Amino acid sequence: MNYQPGLHIIAEISSSQKHLLERSAAVKALLDTQVIKHGLSKLGEVYHDFEPGGFTAVICLSESHISLHTWPEYERVNLDIYLSNYQRYNDDTGRQLFDELVAFFGAGIISCQQIKR
């Protein structure tokens, strides 16, 4: 198979849903469901909740990764989604994951870069 560049989405979003920004359990449940729904292959994951609130989540996929970091005190979430197209075309899946996370947080998009690499 010839190499096909994948889609890398790097974004900052804003959400007033502080209860979703403080602890990782709800986003973990969402991402577990999305990984299965989209037929992605999870290799490992780390979720860390900070005190008094906020979390970091990193999901390592055979297709690459999904990561996010929240700052409830600033109503911010940084997202990083990269899915390669090595074994199948994943650009639409990356966009759907991004849209699903924006909807989950009820967020507005502050900045979003989509890079083919």
As averages over each run of 10 residues, the pLDDT of the chain (117 residues) reads: 87 97 98 97 98 98 97 98 93 97 98 96
The DSSP annotation for 53-87 comes to: S-EEEEEEETTEEEEEEEEGGGTEEEEEEEE--SS
Is residue 111 domain-resident? Answer: yes
Structural domain boundaries, residue 66: 7-116
Does residue 105 contact residue 11 with C-beta atoms inside 8 Å? no
Task: From 19, 4, 18, 21, select the one nearest 79 (Cα to Cα).
Answer: 21
In a domain, 64, yes or no: yes
For the range 43-51, what are the long-range contacts, defined as Cβ-Cβ under 8 Å and sequence gap of 24 or more? Answer: 48/24, 49/22, 49/23, 49/24
The pTM score is 0.94
CATH number of the domain that residue 19 is part of? 3.60.90.10
Number of domains forming the structure of the chain: 1
pLDDT of residue 1: 60
Tell me if 2 is assigned to some domain.
Answer: no
pLDDT at residue 3, rounded to an integer? 78
Tell whether 102 is covered by a domain.
Answer: yes
Tell me, what DSSP letter sits at residue 41? -
Closest CA to 71 of 18, 113, 11, 29: 18
Residue 1 lies in a domain: no
